[in-house]
Amino acid sequence: GAVVSQHPSWVICKSGTSVKIECRSLDFQATTMFWYRQFPKQSLMLMATSNEGSKATYEQGVEKDKFLINHASLTLSTLTVTSAHPEDSSFYICSARARGGSTEAFFGQGTRLTVV
Amino acid sequence: AQSVAQPEDQVNVAEGNPLTVKCTYSVSGNPYLFWYVQYPNRGLQFLLKYITGDNLVKGSYGFEAEFNKSQTSFHLKKPSALVSDSALYFCAVSPPYNQGGKLIFGQGTELSVKP
């Protein structure tokens, strides 16, 4: 089956530093990847849609300069949380949709970010 | 506005009993419908989806869901619950213009199955 790998699984960083999270589709090519944020015991909120070779599309209220998304290849998208603050602490999950009109997206295992 | 509602924050059932986790949606057109399960500190695992066709969809781990267009519902069911089914369940909808990609999630329902 389709596998999406997210790295790291968890990260602790100091306030003011930047953190990069990787999302890889291991056995398929993903023209589109999605980044979600999840607060404890809450639903997933879509942050942005990442398209290979073009700029990401951000949801309303999501700061583009704070959450930098790069989709450099058909198997890799990265989310960089810049100048992280404690309120950025959250669970970040990516999903990837295979090229060719797949009817579903496959999820990574998530990244727990803690900013201290 | 497009939305998905899971009216129950928590569902408690005894092992061996049937379970139902409810989901209703408000999306125009013919959306794709999904159920996912999430274990603590893990990503989402796909359970099943409805695209078109038979209203009763069978998925992984013995789960099934029934699509009801008139009631705009897509309730998740299982005839006999297991303790290992205890987890957080999300209903999701993919709008007609972006089938299978961008998802709108319900708030989640925590299922607790007691021995």
- Report the run of H or E that residue B20 belongs to, with start and end: strand B19-21
Query: Is the Cβ–Cβ distance between A91 and A37 less than 8 Å?
Result: yes
pLDDT in tens, chain A (116 residues): 678 999 999 999 999 999 999 999 998 888 889 999 998 778 899 999 988 888 899 999 999 999 999 988 889 999 999 999 999 999 999 999 877 666 678 899 999 999 99
Considering only the beta carbons, identify the residue of B43, B46, B90 that sits closest to A109. B43
Q: Residue B46 and residue B23: Cα distance in Å, rounded?
A: 16
The answer to whether the Cβ–Cβ distance between A43 and B100 falls below 8 Å is no
Residue B86 contacts A where some CB pair is shorter than 8 Å: no
Segment 11-50 of chain B within 8 Å of chain A by CB: 32, 34, 36, 41-46, 49
The answer to whether the Cβ–Cβ distance between B103 and A34 falls below 8 Å is yes
Query: Is the Cβ–Cβ distance between A107 and A7 less than 8 Å?
Result: no
